[in-house]
């Protein structure tokens, strides 16, 4: 039995010292293990958000914690002014993991947050466009999709079509063309001689786990090949096991030129991101042209190496696939019973649309919280389910039983 009822402990809701750029659910967490977290009053919850997929391996994974603990006692930061003994091993390991899945021998450029990886990919693509493709100076364009989410920097929100993300933050960075997501012909039409890259999420997580048609990625790859344009896959949320494959692009057998990785790469312990892709593209970034004080730091590399080790066995991807079949079946039965309007699911990842006349997404989340299950709404009446890949089948069933109860 939990020590307290779920939903009783919440501290930070409207403190005057904390910027109000989030609207968290009313719970204050104090500890976590695997798929479970505990609040300050001692109530337990199943975590079905998993840090927006930063916690693919759950809270406190013993292998990841051991790697972090060991590294804390050795050295944690050198800056890139000096090399350290885990930097090349990290790059080698990540390149090896990515090698069969990108279009050419890979190189790794470590950063910290997802947004920084996206910024890095944009800079590399532009510089490649000028240095290699011969685009006229300052004319480079990048084709992106409607409904995208690539982070929160001023350049990245410049090509968002979400009013909340953009309004009040101009002037915006030029050089982006937004076309409808899932429409490969629109991508092809938007490409011209100034275009250096097409930047897309394989599956749009923030948008509510929106899965494009099966022919989309192969057709976009073909359009990029024909026009000599880089294909950049933002795998920050979709990558590293979530979809049942190491990278989501594998679902369609497509090899991007560059991938951005983040979130789960830091094992939920430290922020670790990277751009991984064609060495002849990332190679345009030479000494002095790009950098980061913390990118590739020893602690990040220690945790990142341990994460890559977990993924190298394929065991978590396999788990996401098998449990994902079960998740999909259970959601289908909710849909058959009329309790959810629509859902989209792949691996251990689902977007569930509830009837907006019955609930907002937030109402479902608050009621689930009171039942000891944590999820988060995204865009109106959609809730995203992204349990840690280590979740037990019984725990997944427990969470889905409670979702059923709430929707009834």
Ligand X SMILES: *Cc1c(COP(=O)(O)O)cnc(C)c1O
Query: HSE-up of 52 (CA within 13 Å, CB side)?
Result: 16
Q: Does 115 bind ligand X (CB under 6 A)?
A: yes
Please, what is the minimum distance in Å from the beta carbon of residue 149 to ligand X?
5
Q: Which H helix or E strand runs over 373?
A: strand 373-374
201 binds ligand X (CB under 6 A): yes
Of the CA atoms within 13 Å of residue 6, those in its CB half-sphere come to 20
Any idea what the Cα angle at residue 80 is, between residues 77 and 83, rounded to 5°?
Answer: 80
Residue 175 CB partners (closer than 8 Å, separation 6+): 126, 140, 141, 142
Site for ligand X in 133-162 (CB under 6 A): 149-151
Q: Which residue is nearest to ligand X (CB)?
A: 114
Contact region with ligand X (CB under 6 A), list: 132-140, 199-207, 225-233, 283-291: 199-207
Q: Please, are residues 47 and 55 in contact by the beta-carbon 8 Å criterion?
A: yes
| Annotated catalytic residue 149 | yes
Q: Could you give the 3-state DSSP secondary structure of residue 304?
A: helix
Min dist. Cβ of residue 210 to ligand X (A): 12
Q: Look at the block and give the residue holding tokens 């410049």.
A: 158
The three-class DSSP label of residue 215 is: coil
141 or 204: CB nearest ligand X: 204
Does residue 237 interact with ligand X by CB under 6 A? yes
| Six token digits for residue 78 | 């050198």
Catalytic residue among 39, 234, 257, 353: 234
- For residue 74, the minimal CB distance to ligand X (Å) is 26
Member of 93, 102, 109, 118 binding ligand X (CB under 6 A): 118
Active site residue 395: no
Instruction: Name 143's bridge partners.
Output: 177, 198
Please, which of residues 43-72 interact with ligand X by CB under 6 A? 52
Our finding on whether 205 is near ligand X (CB under 6 A) is yes
Kind and range of the H or E element at 107?
A: strand 106-111
By CB under 6 A, name the one of 47, 234, 353, 395 that touches ligand X: 234
Identify which of residues 236 and 320 has a Cβ nearer to ligand X in the complex.
Answer: 236
| Residue list 89-108, contact with ligand X (CB under 6 A) | none
Residue (135 or 236) nearer to ligand X, CB: 236
Rounded CA separation 97/404 (Å): 38
Q: Is 234 a catalytic residue?
A: yes
Looking at beta carbons only, is 7 or 182 nearer to ligand X? 182
**Catalytic option among 263, 294, 359, 377:** 263
Distance CA 148, CA 204 (A): 7
From 113, 207, 381, 382, residue interacting with ligand X (rule: CB under 6 A): 113
- 276 binds ligand X per the rule CB under 6 A: no
CA distances from 103 to 211, 231, 254, 275, 308 (A): 22, 9, 9, 14, 20
For β-strands 373-374 and 258-261, DSSP reports them as unpaired
Between 206 and 353, name the residue whose CB sits nearer to ligand X: 206
Which residues make up the interface to ligand X (CB under 6 A)? 52, 113-115, 118, 149-151, 201, 205-206, 234, 236-237, 262-263
Residues annotated as part of the active site: 149, 234, 263
């Amino acid at each position: 039995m939990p020590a307290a009822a779920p939903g009783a402990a919440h501290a930070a809701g409207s403190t005057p010292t904390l910027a109000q750029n989030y609207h968290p659910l009313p719970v204050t967490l104090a500890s976590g293990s695997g798929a479970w977290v505990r609040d300050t009053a001692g109530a337990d919850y199943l975590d079905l958000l998993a840090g927006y997929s930063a916690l693919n391996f759950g809270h406190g994974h013993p292998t990841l914690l051991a790697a972090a603990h060991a590294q804390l006692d050795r050295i944690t930061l050198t800056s890139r002014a000096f090399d350290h003994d885990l930097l090349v091993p990290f790059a080698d390991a990540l390149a090896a993991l990515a090698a069969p899945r990108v279009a050419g021998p890979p190189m790794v450029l470590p950063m910290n947050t997802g947004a920084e990886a996206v910024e890095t990919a944009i800079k590399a693509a532009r510089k490649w466009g000028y240095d290699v493709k011969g685009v006229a100076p300052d004319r480079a364009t990048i084709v992106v999709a409607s409904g995208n989410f690539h982070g929160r920097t001023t350049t990245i929100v410049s090509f968002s079509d979400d009013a909340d993300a953009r309004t009040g933050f101009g002037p915006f960075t030029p050089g982006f063309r937004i076309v409808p997501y899932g429409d490969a012909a629109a991508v092809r039409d938007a490409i011209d001689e100034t275009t250096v890259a097409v930047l897309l999420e394989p599956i749009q997580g923030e948008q509510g786990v929106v899965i494009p048609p099966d022919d989309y990625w192969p057709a976009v790859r073909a359009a990029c090949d024909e026009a000599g344009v880089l294909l950049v896959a933002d795998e920050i949320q979709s990558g590293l096991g979530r979809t049942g494959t190491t990278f989501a692009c594998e679902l369609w057998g497509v090899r991007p030129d560059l991938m951005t990785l983040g979130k789960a790469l830091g094992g939920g312990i430290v922020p670790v991101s990277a751009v991984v892709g064609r060495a002849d593209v990332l190679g345009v970034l030479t000494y002095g042209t790009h950098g980061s004080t913390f990118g590739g730091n020893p602690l990040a590399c220690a945790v990142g190496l341990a994460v890559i080790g977990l993924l190298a066995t394929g065991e978590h991807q396999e788990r996401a696939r098998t449990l994902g079949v079960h998740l999909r079946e259970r959601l289908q039965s909710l849909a058959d019973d009329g309790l959810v309007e629509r859902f989209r699911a792949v691996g251990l990842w689902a977007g569930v649309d509830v009837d907006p006349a019955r609930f907002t997404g937030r109402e479902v989340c608050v009621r689930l919280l009171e039942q000891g299950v944590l999820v988060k709404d995204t865009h109106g009446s959609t809730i995203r389910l992204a349990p840690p890949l280590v979740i037990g089948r019984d725990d997944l069933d427990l969470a889905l039983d409670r979702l059923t109860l709430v929707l009834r």
